[in-house]
Amino acid sequence: MVRSNCPLCGAHRVTPIADFPQVPVLCNALLATAQDARNAPKGDIALAMCLECAMIWNQAFDETLLAYSSDYENALHHSENFQDYARSLVSDLIQRHSLAGEVVFEIGCGDGYLLNAFIAQGVDKAIGFDPSMTNRSRIVANDARVQIIARNFDPEHTPYDCKLVVCRHVLEHIADPQSFLRDLLASLPAPNVPLYFEVPNAHWLLSAPSPWDVIYEHVGYWTEPSLIRLFHDAGCRVTKSSTAYNAQFLQLEAVHGSPAPVSDHAIQAIIAAGTAFAASTKDTFTHWNHILQNADAKIVVWGAGSKGITFANFAHNNGHHIEALVDLNPVKHGLFAPGSATQVVDPSALMDLQPDLVVISNGLYRAEIEDQLAAMGIAAPTKILL
Ligand SMILES: [Zn+2]
């Protein structure tokens, strides 16, 4: 579906910012064989930016190409760095919203990692929806206080007694976020139930620049002003808006209520970064082509998430060979990345592989990755994917 106007504010002042043709439509669905991985369905990304509200989206997005299933795996919680983040996020939410002994509801809960963290820190019941959880095991198998419903969020099932709604890294996958938010708000048991939303921060992606975070699963690339605008338009008051995870995430809290205006200044800074994105991405690609060309050596990429898989595809499409993707998540081991068909291995496989260069897909994990490399006696240099 090609849209010429902004899907958020309807403005016609829209500009294309970058194209990424023929990328796997499900970057985070690994496949059992190299053949299946090479044949994984592909689609086009045509990023556009609204010059009025700083919304960024894929104009070429076709929702019918996507079907989230149990192959979909994007849990980050095998990293200690992420565990620390989740623990302090949960503790902060519990404290500020007095959630001890209460009910928390999460849309897009994955395997229940965060739900479990809420229970561990004193919440009485944690209920979540996630369509990718069909036939999959959850973090805590036998705790009646954690309930996971393995399908898309259905407003009829919002718990009547929930005291907080959490929705992390879901909104960017939704083609009609206005309807989604409207349905959620209409389903709340009371108008004062706070909402906590978290999405990747597109301003960070544009400025880094990190073309490795441009993936087909994401139809919307939210910036702080566009996210605030979405909630305002739905009749919400934004009570907190900030960046986290080294500016890679945007966090927003809101309740039903009268909105306050958004600063124009923020929009102008994003538009400048968006306008420069095509050129800065080209420089990034040239930089990595140069490194890969001259690295007459075995290269592995640590992190088989969006960034690592997108990088493996970039390398593959430019005629370079990546030996393996390394990941801590055991569910991914032995599987193949869509597109490049690069295999995912356990870190311990590096002792046999003896890489000459380790590309770290997210700089946030550098310290923990370098510790693990040192523990295995691997002296290969590392480079951060930016
Ligand atoms: Zn707009």
Cβ atoms of 374 and 319 within 8 Å: the answer is: no
Do 250 and 302 lie in one domain? The reply is: no
Rounded to the nearest angstrom, the distance between the alpha carbon of 12 and the centre of ligand 1 is 8
Rounded to the nearest angstrom, the distance between the alpha carbon of 148 and the centre of ligand 1 is 35
Rounded to the nearest angstrom, the distance between the alpha carbon of 334 and the centre of ligand 1 is 43
Angle between helical axes of 224-233 and 177-187 (0-180°, round to 10): 50
Closest CA to 110 of 61, 57, 166: 166
CATH number of residue 352's parent domain = 3.40.50.720
Domain closes at, from 268, 303, 323: 268
Residue 306 lies in a domain: yes
Rounded to the nearest angstrom, the distance between the alpha carbon of 213 and the centre of ligand 1 is 21
Residue 344 lies in a domain: yes
**Phi-psi domain of 262 (left: phi exceeds 0; alpha: psi -120 through 50; beta: other):** beta
Rounded to the nearest angstrom, the distance between the alpha carbon of 2 and the centre of ligand 1 is 15
What is the reported pTM? 0.92
Rounded to the nearest angstrom, the distance between the alpha carbon of 381 and the centre of ligand 1 is 43
Give the torsion sign (CA, 303, 309, 314, 315): positive
Rounded to the nearest angstrom, the distance between the alpha carbon of 187 and the centre of ligand 1 is 27
Do 101 and 144 lie in one domain? The reply is: yes
Residue 12 lies in a domain: no
Do 111 and 172 lie in one domain? The reply is: yes
Do 301 and 253 lie in one domain? The reply is: no
Distance, CA of 366 to CA of 47 (rounded, Å) = 29
Rounded to the nearest angstrom, the distance between the alpha carbon of 30 and the centre of ligand 1 is 34
Cβ atoms of 111 and 138 within 8 Å: the answer is: yes
Distance, CA of 228 to CA of 238 (rounded, Å) = 7
* Amino acid making up residue 34: A
Rounded to the nearest angstrom, the distance between the alpha carbon of 226 and the centre of ligand 1 is 7
Could you read off the pLDDT tens digit of each residue along the chain, which spans 386 residues?
Answer: 455 799 999 999 999 999 999 999 999 899 999 999 999 999 999 999 999 999 999 999 998 888 766 566 666 677 788 889 999 999 999 999 999 999 999 999 988 999 999 999 999 999 999 988 777 767 666 788 999 998 888 888 898 999 999 999 999 999 999 999 999 999 999 989 999 999 999 999 999 999 999 999 999 999 999 999 999 999 999 999 999 999 999 999 999 988 777 667 789 999 999 999 999 999 999 999 999 988 768 999 999 999 999 999 999 999 999 999 999 999 899 999 999 999 999 999 999 999 999 999 999 899 999 999 999 999 999 999 98
Residue 87 lies in a domain: yes
Q: Six-digit token pair at 30?
A: 């690994």
Which residue shows structure tokens 């968006």? Answer: 274
Tally Cβ neighbours within 10 Å of residue 381.
10
Residue 35 lies in a domain: no
End-to-end CA distance of the chain: 31
Rounded to the nearest angstrom, the distance between the alpha carbon of 306 and the centre of ligand 1 is 26
Rounded to the nearest angstrom, the distance between the alpha carbon of 139 and the centre of ligand 1 is 39
Domain that holds residue 354: 295-384
Dihedral angle of Cα 86, 257, 6, 175, to the nearest 10 degrees: 50
Rounded to the nearest angstrom, the distance between the alpha carbon of 6 and the centre of ligand 1 is 5
Rounded to the nearest angstrom, the distance between the alpha carbon of 13 and the centre of ligand 1 is 8
Distance, CA of 319 to CA of 306 (rounded, Å) = 20
The number of folded domains in the chain is 2
Residue 364 lies in a domain: yes
The per-residue b/e assignment along 346-360, b for 16 or more CB within 10 angstroms, e otherwise, is: ebebbeebebebbbb
DSSP 8-state assignment for residue 377 = T
Distance, CA of 7 to CA of 5 (rounded, Å) = 6
Rounded to the nearest angstrom, the distance between the alpha carbon of 98 and the centre of ligand 1 is 36
Distance, CA of 9 to CA of 51 (rounded, Å) = 10
Which residue shows structure tokens 């690295």? Answer: 295
CATH number of residue 124's parent domain = 3.40.50.150
DSSP 230-282: HHHHTTEEEEEEEEETTTTEEEEEEEES---PPPHHHHHHHHHHHHHHHHHHH
Rounded to the nearest angstrom, the distance between the alpha carbon of 145 and the centre of ligand 1 is 41
Do 229 and 188 lie in one domain? The reply is: yes
Which residue shows structure tokens 């640590």? Answer: 302
Rounded to the nearest angstrom, the distance between the alpha carbon of 11 and the centre of ligand 1 is 5
Q: Six-digit token pair at 366?
A: 């550098």
Do 259 and 365 lie in one domain? The reply is: no
